[in-house]
Structure 1
Amino acid sequence: MADNKTHNRWLYIPWGIAAVVLLSYLMLWRYGAAEMKSAVSDWVEDQRAAGVEVSHGALKADGFPFFLRLHIEDPYIAAPETGAWRTERLTIDALPYDLNRLIFSTRTEQFVSLAGHGDWRMSAEDFRISIANDKRRDWVFAATIGGATARRDEDGATASVGSLILDLSPEETDKTILTLSVLATEAQVTAGGKNIALDKLQTVVAASEAYALADPDLWRKAGGALQIKGVFAQLEEARFAAAGTLRLDGEGRPQGDLRTEIIAPAPFVHLLGDAGVIAPEDVESAAASLTLASIAAGGKLTAPIEFKDGAAHVAGVRLTGVASGRANP
């Protein structure tokens, strides 16, 4: 009889261990939820101290046991001379045992006000932004957006993107260099009777002396450079690829050369015309000249784009004047 009682007690031990583990995990989850709420409150106070207007409604945690999910009701952020953003609900996801990576997402309509660019309503099938600490690169900012559309209230201008994947972080070997990679498909902007569209855009660029990027003149004096490791664009039958390094001249304008390969350049020239980069009266002549140069080269135009003295030239064709990077006085 005593042997049976001893045997029965052993049967309870695994359940007891499981109960302790579950209780410990629940305590960890609740601790993580409290830390996330505290971090949100601290961030709000820091932003208010910096002159940014921030408000929100209730904070609610759920997702147990697999996720730690914090819902923020009615978040609103407004920065002086920059713009404002709000939505009905913003969700922050993290793992209960690792708060070093936060994923921000929303499924509700977003309202964005941009200084000088009007008020926009935006919706997306997939909208996720993440911020993570990284042992090698210090930090990583990433965004994944799919099926996004936006409309400007005052004039009905629209913008859309089929998919957008973005990654921004310091270089592992030199933290003063910021590297940005972007992959976008089916991007389109329609405004003022003009339609600007790209089937695909993929690029990797790195900016040195990133600590000075906010001030173009300081960035130039610090020796800052924009290394375009690769850019590829596709529009209908047209293809464009480029790589090279650009800097700012004494007037704050880009200077340097980009190695390029262009197939069927006319659609890109018309795109630059619609975007206001090339004067309307110069669009057709530039398209014809580059098309002839491409045909003469066997269908693929391989020539550098030279940025100098505020202008850009390729294959002897002046594309445009380039605006100064300096702020207006």
Structure 2
Amino acid sequence: MNDSGASKSGCFSLPFIMFGVVGLVAALYSAYWVWMSGEIRKGAVDWVEAQRNWGSTVEYSDLSVSGYPFRFVLQADDPVMQNVLPQTRWEGETLQLIAQSWNLNHILIRIPGENDVRLPDRQEVTFYPGDKTIGSLVFKDGRLKRLGLEAPELNGEFGTGEAFELAGLSLGLAPMPDTATDLKLALSLDELSLPSAVDGAEWLGDQLDHLVVWIEVENFYPLVEGELTETEWKVDRNQIHLRRGELEMGPLKAASQASVTLDRDNNPDGTVGVHLLEPETLKSALEAEGVMTRDIETVINTLKAINSNGAFATVKVKDRKFSLPIIGTIGEY
């Protein structure tokens, strides 16, 4: 009988022990969250002071940390950031930096509401990100390794009051999977509506319907992390590769590829592959606008002939000049 009573006593005590352990873990985790939230806020305040000491303007009306239990959400209300060089200014309604409590190296960024930006050329832009717009930063060993931005919808207006809208914006910068020292930049845009056509290229219209840019930069991370100087990077003839370029805007529908190096004056040296998808449509648009010239027509016809079998026409870029086989120089800058 005594053994049976002891067994029942043990069975009854087990749930209490388990609840006790869970309670202890929860208490320890809560203490960690409170401590870490304080460290995050202190780190933000220290960063603000450091920027101010460098001459930048950083202001906010309130700074708080929330998100318990699984996230840390650092929120600044009415944030203002202004740099001296270059002279840029951003003012928003809210800035949120979000991280999971178990991975502080991956930070999500949200800036909902109205955002006012002043660019170095003094031009002002106001934009309103959609609810699903979000940025992403990934750090490794204290250094930024990945940057991303997803903006399914975004609209705004320039300081002149002219409005613009974009849809399907995606931007990503990350190390190449097979070569961690190289950078891969991927940019895509489904649609961009401008307030008016681009000056000097009115024939393009005011609607961009498709844009894709995939770029690889050799030894980018050693360069930005100080392991290579800019001169060393150029002397080693590290290349910038445009792996995929696609553009659809008005009558211009084109694809491109490129591989170039940069000289000491940042002038490119290399080749650019060009493929016009609808050359006759492009010629008609240029003729309708009265900007077609004999030289432009010759270039388009040459590209059309080379592109006819699906090949890219190779344009040589050197000494600030563009040249095509047979034709020779087709442009300078």
Instruction: Tell me, yes or no, if the aligned pair for 1:93 and 1:103 is still in contact at 8 Å.
Output: yes
Q: Would you say how many aligned residue pairs link Structure 1 and Structure 2?
A: 313
Aligned to 1:310: 320
Cα offset for 1:139?
A: 1.6
Aligned to 2:275: 261
Instruction: Tell me, yes or no, if the aligned pair for 1:84 and 1:114 is still in contact at 8 Å.
Output: yes
Aligned to 1:97: 102
Aligned to 2:89: 84
User: CA RMSD, aligned part only?
Assistant: 3.6
Of 196, 200, 205 in structure 1, the residue corresponding to residue 215 of structure 2 is 205
Aligned to 1:321: 332
Q: Are the structure 2 counterparts of residues 247 and 79 from structure 1 closer, same or farther at C-alpha, using a change threshold of 3 Å?
A: same
Deviation per CA, 1:257-277, whole angstroms, max 9, x where unpaired? 112322114677899x9xxxx
Query: Match for 1:67: what amino acid?
Result: R
Instruction: Tell me, yes or no, if the aligned pair for 2:237 and 2:262 is still in contact at 8 Å.
Output: no
Aligned to 1:141: 147
Identity %: 18
Q: Aligned with 2:190: secondary structure?
A: strand
Normalization by structure 2: what TM-score?
Answer: 0.78
Instruction: Tell me, yes or no, if the aligned pair for 1:266 and 1:288 is still in contact at 8 Å.
Output: no
Deviation per CA, 1:129-170, whole angstroms, max 9, x where unpaired? 2211247x97211111221122111x2344432022212234
Deviation per CA, 1:290-319, whole angstroms, max 9, x where unpaired? 554455453856311222332334574866
Q: Aligned with 1:190: secondary structure?
A: coil
Equivalences for 1:94-243 in 2 at 5 Å?
94-125=99-130, 126-134=132-140, 139-153=145-159, 155-171=160-176, 177-191=182-196, 195-208=205-218, 210=220, 211=223, 220-221=234-235, 223-235=237-249, 239-243=253-257
Looking at structure 2, the residues matched to 13 and 270 of structure 1 have their Cα atoms a distance apart, in angstroms, of 82
Normalization by structure 1: what TM-score?
Answer: 0.79
Point out where structure 2 has 5 or more consecutive residues left out of the alignment. Answer: none
Deviation per CA, 1:31-65, whole angstroms, max 9, x where unpaired? 33223212212221232233222112212222222
Instruction: Tell me, yes or no, if the aligned pair for 2:276 and 2:304 is still in contact at 8 Å.
Output: no
Looking at structure 2, the residues matched to 35 and 286 of structure 1 have their Cα atoms a distance apart, in angstroms, of 65
Looking at structure 2, the residues matched to 16 and 292 of structure 1 have their Cα atoms a distance apart, in angstroms, of 81
Q: Are the structure 2 counterparts of residues 132 and 173 from structure 1 closer, same or farther at C-alpha, using a change threshold of 3 Å?
A: same
Q: Which deviates further from its counterpart, 313-322 or 142-151?
A: 313-322
Higher strand share: 1
Q: Which has the larger radius of gyration?
A: 2
Q: Aligned with 2:308: secondary structure?
A: coil
